[in-house]
C-alpha cells in the first residue's frame, strides 16, 4: 500500500515526527500523518495552514507500507457523532496517544475529518515494523494558487 505525505521541503528527507499536537496526538506524542491519496494529503495541509503557509517549498512523499505490516483501524462508527468538533479533539487525541503508548501496531487507519469516507494513516515510529516503511519517491509539490485566495 502506498500512502502520501506533503511536508515542507527542508523536512522531507525522512519520516520524522515533530511531536506537535494535532487531531490524533497531543503535544510530545510522536506520530507521522499520511493520507490515502495525494489529493487528501493536499486537503489536510490546506485546512491546517494559512495562505502564506502554503507558499513555502513543499515535497510530496510516496511511502510504501508493505502488506505484511499490521494495521489497526479506528472505525467511523466507533466515534461519537461530534468527533470532528474542535471541543471534542481530546477524544481523538486520547485514542492516538493510547495507540502510540501501547505500541499496538506501526500503522493506525483513521477516518479523515475532512472526508469521513476516506482515510488517513498514522505511522508509529516506535514500533519495530516501522523500519519496513520506506519512502519510495519524493517530488516537489506546489499548492495551486487558487487555493485559499
In this predicted structure, the answer to whether residue 43 has a pLDDT above a threshold of 70 is: yes
pTM value > 0.75:
yes
Backbone angles phi, psi at 131, to 5 degrees: -65, -15
Q: What is the pLDDT of residue 149?
A: 52
* 138: nearest Cα among 31, 63, 66: 63
**Spatial separation of the C-alpha atoms in residues 36 and 124, rounded to whole Å:** 16
Confidence of residue 148 (pLDDT cuts 50, 70, 90): low
Tens-place pLDDT, residues 56-83? 899 999 999 999 999 999 999 999 999 9
Query: CA quadruple 73, 133, 63, 147: dihedral positive or negative?
Result: positive
* 6: nearest Cα among 66, 48, 65: 48
Between the alpha carbon of residue 25 and those of residues 21, 84, 101, 142, the distances in Å are 5, 14, 11, 27
> In this predicted structure, which of 8-17, 45-54, 90-99, 103-112 has the lowest mean pLDDT?
45-54
Report the mean per-residue pLDDT for the chain: 93
Confidence of residue 48 (pLDDT cuts 50, 70, 90): confident
> In this predicted structure, which of 15-19, 50-54, 74-78, 108-112 has the lowest mean pLDDT?
50-54
**Spatial separation of the C-alpha atoms in residues 62 and 53, rounded to whole Å:** 22
**Spatial separation of the C-alpha atoms in residues 111 and 115, rounded to whole Å:** 8
Amino acid at each position: 500500500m502506498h500512502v502520501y505525505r506533503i511536508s515542507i521541503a527542508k523536512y522531507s528527507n525522512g519520516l520524522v515526527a515533530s511531536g506537535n499536537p494535532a487531531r490524533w496526538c497531543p503535544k510530545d506524542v510522536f506520530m507521522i500523518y499520511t493520507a490515502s491519496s495525494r489529493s487528501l494529503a493536499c486537503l489536510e495541509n490546506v485546512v491546517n495552514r494559512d495562505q502564506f503557509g502554503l507558499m513555502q517549498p513543499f515535497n510530496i512523499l510516496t511511502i510504501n507500507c508493505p502488506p505484511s505490516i499490521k494495521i489497526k483501524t479506528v472505525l467511523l462508527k466507533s466515534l461519537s457523532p461530534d468527533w470532528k468538533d474542535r471541543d471534542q479533539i481530546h477524544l481523538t487525541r486520547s485514542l492516538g496517544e493510547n495507540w502510540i503508548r501501547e505500541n499496538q501496531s506501526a500503522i493506525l487507519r483513521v477516518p479523515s475529518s475532512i472526508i469521513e469516507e476516506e482515510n488517513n494513516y498514522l505511522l508509529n515510529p516506535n514500533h519495530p515494523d516501522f523500519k519496513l516503511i520506506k519512502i519510495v519517491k519524493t517530488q516537489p509539490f506546489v499548492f495551486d494558487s487558487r487555493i485559499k485566495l
